[in-house]
Amino acid sequence: MEGAKPTLQLVYQAVQALYHDPDPSGKERASFWLGELQRSVHAWEISDQLLQIRQDVESCYFAAQTMKMKIQTSFYELPTDSHASLRDSLLTHIQNLKDLSPVIVTQLALAIADLALQMPSWKGCVQTLVEKYSNDVTSLPFLLEILTVLPEEVHSRSLRIGANRRTEIIEDLAFYSSTVVSLLQQDKTSSNLHEAASDCVCSALYAIENVETNLPLAMQLFQGVLTLETAYHMAVAREDLDKVLNYCRIFTELCETFLEKIVCTPGQGLGDLRTLELLLICAGHPQYEVVEISFNFWYRLGEHLYKTNDEVIHGIFKAYIQRLLHALARHCQLEPDHEGVPEETDDFGEFRMRVSDLVKDLIFLIGSMECFAQLYSTLKEGNPPWEVTEAVLFIMAAIAKSVDPENNPTLVEVLEGVVRLPETVHTAVRYTSIELVGEMSEVVDRNPQFLGTALVLARLPLEKITECLSELCSVQVMALKKLLSQEPSNGISSDPTVFLDRLAVIFRHTNPIVENGQTHPCQKVIQEMVNVYHVHQHSCFLYLGSILVDEYGMEEGCRQGLLDMLQALCIPTFQLLEQQNGLQNHPDTVDDLFRLATRFIQRSPVTLLRSQVVIPILQWAIASTTLDHRDANCSVMRFLRDLIHTGVANDTFCRWLENSLKGLPKETTVGAVTVTHKQLTDFHKQVTSAEECKQVCWALRDFTRLFR
């Protein structure tokens, strides 16, 4: 917007049109005009005036949002001597508007946080805020909002403030973190204030990232959170579920932050295992929503311990995992008055599925057979209610596949007991028992008396499998066709899942044995899949391709066929992504494409790297790094990480990295040092000597901060 500053009345009219004009074209014109205003230098003064007048929520929200945006993207427009007055003005606005709308408070809090980060002359900004507002109960909510977003904004990529300023702010946060923790220790703290304080602590814990670099804040929060156990028990006694959930969030974030310490130095310093005790206390709460908060941490703990492969370390954590599994089994119990099979699509059903996944990831720490036998003994020795029996069988099903089936009498005994359940048994128990049998396919395989049709099918000659499989599936396919062609009536269910489940079971247990030189039955499927994908670009076909590479990518005779599949799939995929906003409109395709490429890097890297298709794949990977979609971005980054890790052992890569680093700018346009020679050589050494992918990720993360 060029020319004279618009009048406030004109701005009010545009805001009203944006929110209230019934004509969509009027809204669009107002939105465009206000966007131009936000990009102009007049926006500073107009926003300040709108916040002073406080005419209505809409105009105040627009002004607060504009102020935040200007500070984030156009802070350079302001002369240095105006920064202090802007700070004072924003603090006045947030105090005056604290009761108008929470979203306005959040926008102003973000504006203040971004200003503090970009204003080096504001020394001790956290101290200023805490001393000014912590003793005023009416100001505490917006103070906590500022302290919540400040550690989040410390690592914002939109602010190029450098690592030193970020460290300075984090150290300032450390000194005053006890003020927030004290609010969580008080039983009288209101629910809203309690949630705000919890958000603040979680945000600060998340901001630590590197414990050694931010040790003062780490120590303050570690010691402070450990004091909250009594407050948690008080919240349980008062049946205040909201506060209980808040405490569990904090305890989980504490464990996430200090995970490396917990694994590397268990029981020592910041690896103090009282952190795990806090999570197990939460696991004992009767509401399953509480323990569910901690699932991601337990998964990550299992992942780290699996990589350490240290029996001594594993032994330290065994008792904790056993207690967790017993708690999870209790949480998986259905209600005593439940009728029918367990629901899998409601909230509780999804919780049970997550429990099953978690148990599979952690069972190696206890021992599959030991745990399986212990669970079975509880059913043999006692006479538990049906809901307890069903929950135990559910956990057994989760670990059955990891139990060694070789000469295992317990597994055979379980199998015999399950197939001979009395007719009077509860439907849910029978259903879960069948699920358990499905997970014990190898045991069924070793016991001919239990052989099923699909297992017999897998032992037929290869040339007969396709024909027989088609006949076996045709029964279910005909039922699906009939279901699709008729109107649901006379009580007949229109749910196709029963027939789809049967098809899935057939394919799951049809595992043909292919000798060297023989053509795999999947070969025809691959060609058919490629043909269909050229007509219908559904990303599930790319996902199926990644499964095939994962399964057969290490077999020499399959590699060229899999590469041909990849190249054929890439042609329509690239055409799809080349469309306008192709990446944004097809994140699932990006996700599955780079999952497929990653499987090649993991299973047969040379096959991919010697092909022509690797060049456009790498180009699309670079183009996709800014895609704002979590799953797609994760797949892209995992591909690039594995690609770099594959090349680290190559001297050519080391030389390429060295030359690339030499070409980076060492100073900003105004002469400030961006990166020193030592920092460049340190980064080169960290990447080229890294033994694990995460070390490369950490080095890249720290190095890029020097340029933000």
pLDDT at 182 over 90: no
Q: Residue 579: which pLDDT band, with cuts at 50, 70 and 90?
A: very high
How many angstroms separate the CA atoms of 105 and 97, rounded? 7
Residue 411 tokens, joined: 């597994």
337 and 443 share one domain: yes
Least confident of 180-184, 413-417, 432-436, 540-544: 413-417
Report the pLDDT value the prediction gives residue 669, as an integer from 0 to 100: 60
Same domain, 559 and 675: no
pLDDT at 81 over 50: yes
Number of domains in the chain: 3
User: Where among 648, 676, 695 does a domain terminate?
Assistant: 648
Question: Span 310-333, mean pLDDT?
Answer: 93
Q: Do both 364 and 340 map to the same domain?
A: yes
Per-residue pLDDT at 520 exceeds 90: no
Q: Is residue 696 part of a domain?
A: yes
Q: CA separation (Å) from 342 to 335, 387, 499?
A: 10, 11, 18
Model confidence, pTM: 0.59
Contact 122, 71 (CB under 8 A): no
Q: Are residues 523 and 396 in the same domain?
A: no
Return the minimum-mean-pLDDT range out of 107-111, 230-234, 609-613, 699-703. Answer: 699-703
Higher pLDDT, 629 or 509: 629
Higher pLDDT, 49 or 473: 49
CB 108 within 8 A of CB 137: no
- Rounded to an integer, the average pLDDT of 322-342 is 92
pLDDT score at 268:
92
Q: 350 is written with which tokens?
A: 């999804």
The pLDDT confidence band at residue 647, using thresholds 50, 70 and 90, is low
Please tell me the predicted confidence (pLDDT) of residue 250: 94
pLDDT tier at 490, thresholds 50, 70, 90: very low
Tell whether 641 and 658 lie within a shared domain.
no
Q: Hey, which of 511-515, 571-575, 667-671 has the most confident mean pLDDT?
A: 571-575
For 156, counting Cβ atoms within 10 Å of its Cβ (0-12 exposed, 13-18 middle, 19+ buried), the class is: middle
> 567, 613 in Cβ contact below 8 A?
yes
Residue 164 has a pLDDT of: 76
User: Quick one: 565 and 640 in the same domain?
Assistant: yes
Per-residue confidence band for 458, with pLDDT thresholds at 50, 70 and 90: low
Domain identity same for 382 and 396: yes
Res 451: pLDDT:
45
Please check the confidence at residue 188 and state whether its pLDDT lies above 90: no
Residue 352: predicted pLDDT: 94
Buried b (16+ CB within 10 A) or exposed e, 215-230: eebbebbbebbbebee
Domain membership flag for residue 386:
yes
Instruction: Please determine, for residue 657, whether its predicted confidence score (pLDDT) is greater than 90.
Output: no
Place of tokens 């003793």: 135
* 526 residue type, one letter: I
In a domain, 584, yes or no: yes
CB 109 within 8 A of CB 142: yes
Residue 311 lies in a domain: no
- The whole-number pLDDT of residue 71 equals 92
Whether the CB-CB separation of 557 and 517 falls below 8 Å is answered with yes
Average pLDDT over residues 657-682: 75
Q: Does residue 443 contact residue 412 with C-beta atoms inside 8 Å? A: yes
* pLDDT at res. 433: 86
**DSSP state at residue 613:** T
Is 570 in the same domain as 677? no
Range of the domain at 679: 649-707
Structure tokens at 159: 């602010």
> Worst-scoring range by mean pLDDT, 14-18, 351-355, 382-386, 554-558?
554-558
pLDDT tens digits for 132-169?
888 788 888 888 888 888 888 887 777 777 777 777 77
Four-point Cα dihedral 234, 235, 237, 241, nearest 10 = -170
Q: Is residue 549 part of a domain?
A: yes
What value does the mean pLDDT take over residues 414-420? 77
Q: Is residue 42 part of a domain?
A: no
**pLDDT of residue 87 exceeding 80:** yes
Highest mean pLDDT among 374-388, 464-478, 484-498, 590-604: 590-604
Same domain, 382 and 467: no
Mean pLDDT of 537-546: 88
341 belongs to a structural domain: yes
pLDDT, residue 486, reads: 72
Instruction: Determine the length of the chain.
Output: 708
The two tokens of residue 413 are 């005994």
Mean pLDDT (the chain) is 84
What is the maximum span of the chain, computed from C-alpha positions, in angstroms?
A: 90
For 200, residues 6+ apart whose C-beta sits below 8 A from its C-beta are 144, 147, 148, 180
Is the pLDDT at 48 greater than 50? The verdict is yes
Give domain status of residue 599, yes or no: yes
Least confident of 249-253, 446-450, 507-511: 446-450
Alpha carbon distance 307, 213 (integer Å): 24
Q: Say if residue 346's pLDDT is above 70.
A: yes
Q: What pLDDT was estimated at residue 134?
A: 80
The mean pLDDT value for 681-704 works out to 76
Split at pLDDT 50, 70, 90, the class of 449 is: low
Give yes or no: residues 580 and 443 share one domain.
Answer: no
Same domain for 566 and 442 = no
Q: Which residue has the higher pLDDT, 113 or 491?
A: 113
Which pLDDT score, from 0 to 100, does residue 670 have? 47
Residue 500 has pLDDT above 50, yes or no: yes
Average pLDDT of the residues in 623-632: 86
Of the listed ranges 227-241, 396-410, 506-520, 563-577, the least confidently predicted one is: 506-520
Does 530 lie in the same domain as 617?
yes
Percent of the chain surpassing pLDDT 90: 36
pLDDT surpassing 60 at residue 448:
no
